[in-house]
Amino acid sequence: MTDNFYKDIKFVKNPDDILVLVNKNNRLPSNFIPSDLVPIDPKYANEGKLVREEVKIWFEKLSNDAKNLGYKIIAISAFRDFNYQEQLYNYYAETKGQKEADLISARPGHSEHQTGLAVDVEGSNNNYNEFDKSIEFEWMKNNAHKYGFILRYPKNKEKITGFKYEPWHYRYVGKEAANIIYHKNLTLEEYHRLYLKKNRLLCFSICF
């Protein structure tokens, strides 16, 4: 892991942007709560799981299409506010130590779950920790991008994301970005650097 995580931290300027980058160096205000949170239909999630409206539409379609093919993909975690994430992170820090906690849990303000754009899922084996051993994982790995979702913390990208591999954690970015990220095997950090940052610099040079 790099030593740059949780250093030179910046507050995100666009927390409502579908492509917002929230990670160990980009954080959300502690009071940020998306204004369009809605519950996922209990057919596709544990009761009371909230996401943004656009995410609800596409996750329910994903889960329903998977169901029609004989798969079970259920959201077991979605929006978390700052205080909930603080309690969760502190629990891991106290029980596992801060170094391990930082590999498996985001510090408060640095969690994608606070954006309302992330879901943790489980399959028919009813064990999110072993989602990659379920029959659903292969389908999800090959099809999530068609619905605008990406596997946010993939294998062999830990030095970029700062987190251990999480086969259960999916982030909504919209179909256009998800398609690029999937086919080019990128993380969201790499997508921002290669596409969004480059476009901003190009616009700046042209517009000014």
pLDDT tens per residue, range 19-46: 999 999 999 999 999 999 999 999 999 9
Per-residue pLDDT, averaged over 165-178, amounts to 98
Per-residue pLDDT, averaged over 145-155, amounts to 99
The structural domain count of the chain equals 1
Q: Which tens digits make up the pLDDT trace of 60-116?
A: 999 999 999 999 999 999 999 999 999 999 999 999 999 999 999 999 999 999 999
Exactly one of 60, 122, 136, 166 is catalytic; name it: 166
Q: Where is pLDDT greater, at 192 or 2?
A: 192
Look at residue 164 and tell me whether its pLDDT is greater than 60.
yes
Is the residue at 1 inside a domain? no
Tell me whether residue 166 is one of the annotated catalytic residues.
Answer: yes
Is the residue at 3 inside a domain? no
Is the residue at 2 inside a domain? no
CATH number for the domain spanning 37: value is 3.30.1380.10
Is the residue at 125 inside a domain? yes
Is the residue at 46 inside a domain? yes
The model carries a pTM of 0.93
Q: Containing domain of residue 46, as a range? A: 10-207
Is the residue at 5 inside a domain? no
Contact 68, 141 (CB under 8 A): no
Is the residue at 51 inside a domain? yes
Is the residue at 85 inside a domain? yes
